[in-house]
Amino acid sequence: MSTNTLYEHGTLAMLMAGDMEGSITVADLLKHGDTGIGTLHGLNGEVIIVDGEVYQADETGTVNHITDSTTTLPFASVHYMESDKAIDFETCSFDVLTHKLVDLENLQNVFASVKLHGTFSHVKVRVAPKQFPPYPSLLEVTENQPVFETDNVTGTIIGYFSPELFGGLTAAGWHLHFLSDDRQFGGHILDFAGTNIKGELQIFENFEQHFPIANQAFRDHTVDLDTLKDDVAQSEGNND
Amino acid sequence: MSTNTLYEHGTLAMLMAGDMEGSITVADLLKHGDTGIGTLHGLNGEVIIVDGEVYQADETGTVNHITDSTTTLPFASVHYMESDKAIDFETCSFDVLTHKLVDLENLQNVFASVKLHGTFSHVKVRVAPKQFPPYPSLLEVTENQPVFETDNVTGTIIGYFSPELFGGLTAAGWHLHFLSDDRQFGGHILDFAGTNIKGELQIFENFEQHFPIANQAFRDHTVDLDTLKDDVAQSEGNND
């Protein structure tokens, strides 16, 4: 496997259909990357993986360092950090990433990642609350989810750009998670703003989709293609 | 890379948008599998790969053995043959694969391959005719394509089942190519029927999508998501 690969375990369509059982261990996931995002078994919080260390922002607003490598995830994306290009922003926001970076770097048809670091004037995140069987859909969960906001926070954004063509199996456009340097604040980014933000852009040659083929709920779930992309966009809640 | 991986180079969406430049060599493609299907530079014919040997059915109805490993393809799917299950059919057709095999083996959410061999009472194929820049869309090409039919032909079917969720970047449902044992007849299957057909089914744990990220036409092409899936279904022309 080329190291220039974005590895995705599970699909957003599966979460949308309420298949939230953890189906890959942290140990197995980390064989495919040292950087990434995801969620734990039962849609338990927002995971961010930095330098091979796994952190979970939970629904109480606490950030936990996940050191048990048998912990499982239903859905995650990871890659090996290998910067293609330094990207520095005088001012940065979802709008800048979506309407400037995508055009400037011609990302529309490729998967890409950003890792950004700096002091952000504002960060707003949501955290998925842990669910129990029988699982609801991701959309139902995200209609009632804890939202946290903070100002003047120093930290890291890690996330992915996915082409529209792949929307539904993953989130089209940008999907970003945040972790503060002091490991006190994190989650799935709904909105952010910052100045003098520095980072790295990586464009992937390969997108490797891994399926939990032995998981019965995965094999049996039904995808409603008519509503999927709208539901994913709504559940991801990006302000762009 | 796990050997239980379906490797796809390029996307059907790209062909639909008229990006038909070869962007992977036969040599590089064969690093990812010994079995598969595809098309050559300029949408030149229908490729079938059997036991690591590459054959092209061209628009004149001739089958050519492609031995020049620098030959390029814009779009292809390959895997290493590793049978999960023997599948034998008293009678076989698109309808049997679509309405019986998919349900019986619960394929709806996974990528799978079949390799089938036997004497077919009837096989109807289309062959994409070679195009020249400025390239038309795949849909335009397939509206005027040579179609060949034959009866009582012994040969091999190789192809893939793709979940609906992945329709657009590949062909949802079954996408099958045929090659006769005497290497005189082949192409993209539009219809077939046979009795006492024996074969193998393989279910993939990984789907690896490879992008020609250095190809300008690929980076620049526009995907019309509103019409894509219908256009792909129409251009693939499966009778199911």
List CB contacts (< 8 A) between B165 and chain A.
11, 13, 168-169, 223, 225, 228
Q: Are A92 and A49 in contact (CB under 8 A)?
A: no
- Whether A2 shows a pLDDT value over 70: the answer reads no
pLDDT tens for each residue of B143-191: 889 999 999 999 999 999 999 999 999 999 999 999 999 999 999 999 9
Distance between start and end Cα atoms, chain A: 34
Contact B219 A13 (CB under 8 A): no
Distance CA A43, CA A20 (A): 6
> According to the model, what pLDDT value does residue A125 have?
98
Check whether B1 has a pLDDT greater than 50: no
Cβ burial B188-202 (10 Å sphere, 16+ → b, else e): bbbbbbbeebebbbb
For the stretch B81-117, pLDDT in tens is: 987 899 999 999 999 999 899 999 999 999 999 999 9
**Angle at CA A69, nearest 5°, toward A68 and A70?**
90
Alpha carbon distance A65, B203 (integer Å): 36
Residues of A in contact with B106 (CB under 8 A): 219-220
| Token pair 């456009």 in the structure block, residue | A173
Cα–Cα distance for residue pair B125/B191, rounded to 1 Å: 7
- pLDDT digit string (tens) for A56-68? 999 999 999 999 9
pLDDT digits (tens, 9 = 90+) for B6-35: 999 999 999 999 999 999 999 999 999 999
- pLDDT bin (cut points 50, 70, 90) of residue A238 is low
Tens of pLDDT along B122-150?
999 999 999 999 999 999 998 889 999 99
Instruction: Determine the pLDDT at residue B238.
Output: 54
Compute the nearest-CA separation of A49 from chain B (Å). Answer: 22
Overall average pLDDT of the B54-75 stretch = 98
With b for 16 or more beta-carbon neighbours within 10 A and e for fewer, the A158-186 pattern comes to: bbbbbbbbbbbbbbbbbbbbbbbeebebb
In A, residues 129-168, which contact B (CB 8 Å cutoff)?
A: 163-168
* B65 pLDDT more than 50: yes
Cα gap B166→A165, rounded to integer Å: 9
Domains of chain B (ranges; CATH) run: 5-236 (3.30.1330.80)
Model confidence at B3, pLDDT cuts 50, 70, 90, reads low
Distance from CA of A78 to the nearest CA of B (A): 14
pLDDT at position A3, please?
Answer: 66
User: Is there a contact between B168 and A165 if contact means CB atoms under 8 Å apart?
Assistant: yes
Q: What is the value of ipTM here, to two decimals?
A: 0.95
User: E strands, chain B, where?
Assistant: 5-9, 24-25, 35-40, 44-50, 53-57, 63-66, 72-73, 75-79, 85-93, 112-126, 147-162, 173-180, 186-203, 206-210
pLDDT above 50 (res A1): no
Please check the confidence at residue A117 and state whether its pLDDT lies above 60.
yes
> Is the CB of B223 less than 8 angstroms away from the CB of A11?
no
Least reliable range by pLDDT among A31-35, B63-67, B143-147: B143-147
pLDDT higher than 60, residue A46: yes
